[in-house]
Amino acid sequence: MTQSSFSNLAIILAAGEGTRMKSAKPKVLHEIAGLSMLGHVLAAVKNADISHIVVIIGPNHEEVASEINRHAPQAEIIVQRERLGTAHAVLQARAALEQNPKSVVVLFGDTPLVHPQTIKNLLECVSNQNAVAALGFFADNPTGYGRLLMSGNKLEAIREHKDASDKELEVKFCNAGLMALSGKHALELLSNIGNNNTQKEYYLPDAVEVACSKGLSCVALKADNKEVLGVNDRVQLAQAEAVCQSRLREQHMRNGVTLEAPETVFFSYDTYIARDVTIEPHVVFKSGVRVEAGSVIKAFSHIDGATLEKSVTIGPFARLRPGTKLGENSKIGNFVEIKASNICKNAKISHLSYIGDADIGDNANIGAGTITCNYDGFNKFRTVIGEDAFVGSNTALVAPVEIGAGAYIGSGSTITENVPDDALGLARARQVVKLGWGDSFRNINSGTKD
């Protein structure tokens, strides 16, 4: 026995083309809540405490390989050159199967919503007396699925839809596709699967009949339909997204987050939100967002790669882009876009601004319509605003530029030079007033109008 003899092995099948996605991208890289389907499966496997992972991918799927390296660098990647069926795919991991794993679980890269606990339960079933444990569910429409043929508590066979008799087609208990095999028997069972069927494929589910013919016992566990949803096209992708979002909403609410209209809030798989945060309707979180306690996110805000410290208020209609850090108690109002900027504590940007590549000090007040001009078409430049500074409305800050602590900027200024601490920076034409001009203008023009 080798060193890995006592560990469990996960084999993830991801060699499919996914033709029905009608996409240039391999199917398993399509995302759910901001994470690829394959990323979801890898996370579930890791959370089921399985460290030995083999992923079977298709030829020319370099992007799939790099996604695997990103999420599970320890996983072994094997290319299945010809797609001869699910059992053939599993046998590509022969070398790992030969290392006497305790139990083996097979998962599909396009079935992303499986819970770690379900994987553990399947493994548990084959850790002692059973040779195979399949995962079943009751499909609303069983067309296309393999059927689990039971005799009492024992699973006797799995019949693919295309090979099933009329009587077998009446069975509603369907094969989800995920399966555990005892490590002791896995190789032997897999090697005995033939391809004598309608599709001339080596079917993994046939492991059940092979096991039964050898007097070994097989069982089926029942899963919730939603958990085993397989994604073959974009309609099913949207269904999986909906299931995942409703799980995330529930998780956040259970953690102490108030969602005023949960069904209108969309999270990323990695969104972190502390307790006592309130989220109004229609808010979207993209990846890499952290929100600390007591913050309020008002309606229609879009938040991507941003950190909000305690008691921050944003929105309605705020857009936070990657690299935004909002300090404690800061306030970002309506129609404000912020990118790659540090907004320190108690600072306010209340209306209609674009702030990019900026550092804004404690207590600074940025007036309505202030814009950082951070980009010249080639390079990005920073704007630095000191603490307690007050920038008047409709100011253009042409970066690189620094506004000192406690400085004031007159409204409507276009600031191109640094303004020292406590100074007033004014950069606009002096106003001209011509008394009586309106009257004479009208006199000159009267008569030209019908």
Residues 409, 418: Cα–Cα separation, whole Å: 11
Residues annotated as catalytic (active site), given as ranges: 351
Residue ranges in 48-77 that form contacts with ligand UD1 under rule CB under 6 A? 56
Binding flag, residue 80, ligand UD1 (CB under 6 A) = yes
Place of tokens 């309020």: 296
Size of the site for ligand UD1 (CB under 6 A): 27
Q: Quick one: which H or E segment has residue 243?
A: helix 234-254
Place of tokens 């072994």: 76
Bridge partners, residue 282, by sequence: none
Residues 26, 359: Cα–Cα separation, whole Å: 41
Which of these segments, 83-91, 236-244, 327-335, 345-353, binds ligand UD1 (CB under 6 A)? 83-91
List 8, 175, 313, 374, residue binding ligand UD1 (CB under 6 A):
175
Contact between 327 and 310 (Cβ < 8 Å): no
Place of tokens 């548990």: 124
Cβ distance to Ca ion smaller for residue 230 or 406: 230
Output the smallest distance, CB 13 to ligand UD1, in A: 4
What residue 145 binds from ligand UD1, Ca ion, none (CB within 5 to 8 A, per partner kind)? ligand UD1
Output the smallest distance, CB 175 to Ca ion, in A: 11
Binding flag, residue 85, ligand UD1 (CB under 6 A) = yes
Binding flag, residue 13, ligand UD1 (CB under 6 A) = yes
Output the smallest distance, CB 322 to ligand UD1, in A: 32
Give the SS3 label for residue 85.
Answer: coil
Binding flag, residue 88, ligand UD1 (CB under 6 A) = yes
Residues 28, 109: Cα–Cα separation, whole Å: 6
Output the smallest distance, CB 165 to Ca ion, in A: 22
List 89, 155, 289, 352, residue binding ligand UD1 (CB under 6 A):
89
Q: Which of 365, 416, 418, 373 is nearest to 392 (CA)?
A: 365
Output DSSP code: residue 137. E
Residue ranges in 230-259 that form contacts with ligand UD1 under rule CB under 6 A? 230
Residues 171, 175: Cα–Cα separation, whole Å: 11
- What DSSP line would sit under 12-71, residue for residue? EEE----GGG--SS-GGGSEETTEEHHHHHHHHHHHTT--EEEEEE-TT-HHHHHHHHHH
Residue ranges in 204-243 that form contacts with Ca ion under rule CB under 5 A? 230
Which of these segments, 29-37, 106-114, 259-267, 368-376, binds ligand UD1 (CB under 6 A)? 106-114
Binding flag, residue 404, ligand UD1 (CB under 6 A) = no
Output the smallest distance, CB 203 to Ca ion, in A: 12
Binding flag, residue 294, ligand UD1 (CB under 6 A) = no
Residues 6+ apart with CB under 8 A from 66: none
Cβ distance to ligand UD1 smaller for residue 19 or 251: 19
What residue 86 binds from Ca ion, ligand UD1, none (CB within 5 to 8 A, per partner kind)? ligand UD1
Give the SS3 label for residue 75.
Answer: coil
Instruction: Name the site residues for ligand UD1 (rule: CB under 6 A).
Output: 13-16, 56, 80, 83-86, 88-89, 108-110, 145-146, 158, 160, 174-177, 203-205, 230
